[in-house]
Structure 1
Amino acid sequence: MSDPAGETMAAFWVRARCHDPALPSCPPPAWSFGAGPDEADALLALVLQDRKTATASALADYENAGERPPRPGELSVVLDGDGMPRAVIEVTAVDVVPFSEVSAEHAWAEGEGDRSLGHWRDEHRAFWTEHGATGFAPEMPVVCERFRLRFSG
């Protein structure tokens, strides 16, 4: 029996490589933004509009999952709220800083709300309080990632 999700990723990756032949032959890891389907769709829409070119994660979430933070040059497939592949992004820069030192420039690049640092802090404090592996702390290390859109389809 065939795997529809695998076929969907395979077809997406063929289209992505036709658009950008420099992409590797095998698709990179796939994931979605946010904590649920609606948030995944809303944040993906910002990426597709080229408004969202950054994201932030709690370093503790990587550590608790036994994963390392992203590195410049790495690719990801971004999934929509239904788990369907919709975009390929490439990491361009990564900095780990305390929550209190995340810059207004980074908040702007995340593209959410009014793009202000105040909005960014309020939203991320609430997100990590509810969904973070270790909750929220004002000096918690935050992985600030910049990326560029390589393909959408």
Structure 2
Amino acid sequence: MNSINKFWNDFCQKHQLSPAALESADAYGANSHDADVLSDLINRGIKTATTSIYTSQEDLPTVGAYSIVLNGKNEPVCVIRTKTVEIMPFKKVSPEHAYLEGEGDRSYETWRDIHEKFFTWECREELGKEFTENTEVVCETFIKVE
């Protein structure tokens, strides 16, 4: 049994959950360094939100679902549970949501700069489209469960 399965099975036993309650096991960010930094922020309860490019209805997180947060070595760090999911144009993301992302100085300006650069790269290199102010994004909030 790999470390992610063991981590999840132990969590399910402790919280009396079905193993089917797991929605995903993911690392955040574009590389292992980002994954280490962001998983640490989530584990410490500082990062309680994330934003991603909206690609399809099937990829949306489910409110109430559990996910395992992985570090840069794809090792489990903690479990989160999705609280809210909203789709909106990038230009409509609020300063409050940016603050909940917990990165940098937590200002809207810093959040916007980091995400605009990342989404421009992601759209061009991975999705084959152009990023604009009107590109739809998924804003998710979550709580660290364990």
User: With structure 2 as the length reference, what TM-score do the two structures score?
Assistant: 0.88
CA shift, 1:76, in A, is: 1.1
Describe the superposition over 1:52-82 as per-residue Cα deviations: whole angstroms up to 9, x where unpaired. Answer: 000001103xx3xx83311211111111100
Q: Does 1:106 align with 2:97?
A: yes
Q: What is the aligned-residue identity percentage?
A: 37
Describe the superposition over 1:70-125 as per-residue Cα deviations: whole angstroms up to 9, x where unpaired. Answer: 12111111111001111111110011111111001000100001111111110000
User: SS at 1:43's partner residue?
Assistant: helix
User: SS at 2:79's partner residue?
Assistant: strand
The code of the aligned residue for 1:25 comes to P
CA shift, 1:135, in A, is: 4.1
Identify if the C-alpha distance between structure 1 residues 42 and 94 changes in structure 2 by more than 3 Å, giving closer, same or farther.
Answer: same
Q: CA RMSD in A?
A: 1.6
Distance 2:26 2:19 in 1: 19
User: With structure 1 as the length reference, what TM-score do the two structures score?
Assistant: 0.85
Q: Unaligned stretches of 5+ in structure 2?
A: none
Give the one of 2, 5, 24 matched to 1:7: 2
Alignment map for 1:133-148 (pairs within 5 Å): 133=127, 134-148=129-143
More divergent stretch after superposition (24-33 vs 121-130) = 24-33
The code of the aligned residue for 1:38 comes to H
Regions of 4+ moved over 3 Å:
none
